[in-house]
Amino acid sequence: MSKDHHKYPDTTEDHSELDVILAQVVAQCSEGKKIDYEYLTKAHIEFMPELGRRLRNLQNLETVVQQFERYPQPELSSDSGENGDEGLLMLQKRLDGYDVLEPIFYGGQGVVYKARQRTTCRMVAIKVLVDGPLASERQRWRFAREIKLGARFQHPHIVTVYESGEVNGREFLAMEYIDGLPIDDYVLVHGLSVHQTVRLFQKVCGAVSYAHQNGVMHRDLKPANILVDDDSQPHVLDFGLAKDIDCEADASEPISIAGQVVGTLPYLSPEQARGDQDRVDVLSDVYALGVVLFHILTGEYPYEIVGSRRQVLENIIDRSPKKLRETLLEVEPSDEYAIAVINDDLEHIVCKALEKDKALRYQSAAAFAEDLERYLSGEAVDARATHQLYLLKKTLRRFRTHVIVGAIIISLLVSGLVGMTVLWQRAEHVAKIAQTGLQMASFLRLGTTHRDEGRTEQGMILFRKVIEIGEFADTTDPSVIRHLYDAHNRLAQVDLKRQDLDSADAHCASAFNLSKNLTLQDPQNLQWQRFLGLSYLLRGQIEIAKKQWAPALESLIQTKQIYAILQVEDPSNPSLISEMAYLLRLIANCHRKLHHMDIAFDHYVEAIDMYQNLSNLLPKVLDYQIEYHRSRGMLAIWHMVQHTNEDNAMAVQIFAVAKRSLQELADSTNRRNYIIDIEAILANIESNIDKLKARIDKQKTS
């Protein structure tokens, strides 16, 4: 096919393969086979998030089927239709004030429907007690308690309860509708880094802390009960198993049965696993949060959950939890970057949350969140000091005889004072380097905040402070070099944006040398490789700003070679794919400026294909759709440069489609940064359309 008649990518998705996968799952369920849902999700990530949503529905349906087999069900009312969801048809006829649209969740206690409230036109979720008139006293009590406890909350990360009532003999509650993914799916689909994952999870801890402060313990914290919306905001929901801390001693509550295990198996605390309801309190929620964090970081659980229910409960009660890094090495041995980021601090934080002895856990969800903030800030964490003391005490008790012998040996070594002094000096040097790294990290974080909030000058002052500290430290420690690289890189980006190209060039050269030295020290480290690639990319961007197209092309090709290696190691990482697409577009621009038109065309098309694939995979991420249309606009400019009637017509067609699609995107979002970006692209398109019209009119008159 010729370039003039290139068929641009079609947005139609083919779900036939997804349907085949789901049919196989249903067949295995009907045969009574155990389904490994997590394996299916990871093995077919190209169908996420739709696959994850359908698999969760299958799991929930299994629960409902088990309940229908265990308890007698009411006969269908005369209102029920012959086809479709009888509960949906009943609600559509009987529930006043709402347009009930579709079922979205089937649980053991209730069914949740998506609906529109007529008076406010807002989308809501309607939860209906599944057993209706035949619900047991405990089921009705739990449902009423969920409504009562949910009404206490006014928090941005906890689902809001709007109203409750009864319809056709079934209790219902109307609550905030969250169009999002469970937190584990969200992390997987969006390819969040460890720091992004921890930052997201920290908000969940804050929401749970708020619930505890309002006298409510959740008791069923798990990824399915933590949805993350399109704005990357988490929402805790489903307080059906929650406990009113203030009414703990109320004997009328038909729930706290001795020996009863309440909650979801993999996320139970040891006291819940033992059925010891008297010892279940807010610290059990802290433990569940620890399991959730472990799971979203590794995709695994801290204990084996395969086997009989009794065996799993024994694992939770008796076995020590797995280590984060060891687990990640088992499941993702190639993810060296994530393994490196999960340092001892994060390892100890998770260990503290998963302590079997409640007295050694974080004593509140707020304390858990605060220690995560210290980790993110590069500060010393409470968990590490506490855990080290605890380990020391256990070690002394276990090896008492060895310790006594060791003490005698140490007393004999006191005479080696000179040797000890050298060791002390080395330790002091290591401590100084660590302190330097903490200072640099703090200034970098604060400088970035100033820059992102528009206080550019203050941000640049802090970045320069990082460079001053790093150069004064006079060390080759990788953490210090990394911070120096970040500071030079960010200063170069700011200078480039301000068109101070000489200063940008100087900082870019420093960042390049630092990243090259890091790569030479550890050639197998993919993180250092990525830094070197970004340095070449920044150099190419500065050369483009100087209109030095040939040197820019050379730098960008170096970046492409490095990114090709990174993509082999992590082919499905959306961030890498997006960066590669952006890089291809820059390369195409350089080739076009150098009049290598065929090569430029091929690179534009490749970039367009990559952005469209990302848009199909993650349709809710507007960035990819915006960049897709920006790339098509650049391809239209390529056609304009050809100066033929056919190319002019093709350019007009591409611009028209991009203009219409971008206007629809702008109407679909209220996020100002997206709207500003879209408006800038639209202005450029309008300008080029005017030029094309003037050219076409001139050709007609000549």
The catalytic residues are: 220
274-282, long-range: CB < 8 A, 24+ apart: 274/313, 274/317, 279/358, 280/217, 280/219, 280/243, 281/217, 281/245, 281/358, 282/212, 282/217, 282/245, 282/364, 282/365
CA gap 295, 418 in Å, rounded: 49
CB atoms within 10 A of CB 479: 16
Q: Which two tokens stand for residue 262?
A: 């309440």
Q: What are the strands of the beta sheet with 123-129, ordered from one edge?
A: 98-106, 110-117, 123-129, 170-176, 161-167
Query: Coil, strand or helix: which one is 27?
Result: helix
With residue 167 as reference, give the H or E element that holds it.
strand 161-167
Alpha helices, H only, 95-242:
137-150, 183-190, 194-213
CA dihedral sign of residues 573, 574, 580, 583:
negative
Query: Coil, strand or helix: which one is 254?
Result: coil
Is 626:662 a contact under the CB 8 Å cutoff? yes
Q: Which two tokens stand for residue 80?
A: 């029920």
CA neighbor of 113 nearest in space, from 172, 42, 193, 49: 172
CA neighbor of 591 nearest in space, from 553, 554, 637: 553
User: At CA 620, angle to CA 629 and CA 87, rounded to 5?
Assistant: 140
Report the phi/psi class of residue 446: left, alpha or beta, with left for phi > 0 and alpha for psi in -120 to 50. Answer: alpha
Kindly give the interhelix angle for 622-642 and 645-668, rounded to the nearest 10 degrees.
Answer: 160
Is 292:222 a contact under the CB 8 Å cutoff? yes
Query: Coil, strand or helix: which one is 236?
Result: strand
DSSP state of 547: T
CA gap 303, 315 in Å, rounded: 6
CA gap 130, 133 in Å, rounded: 9
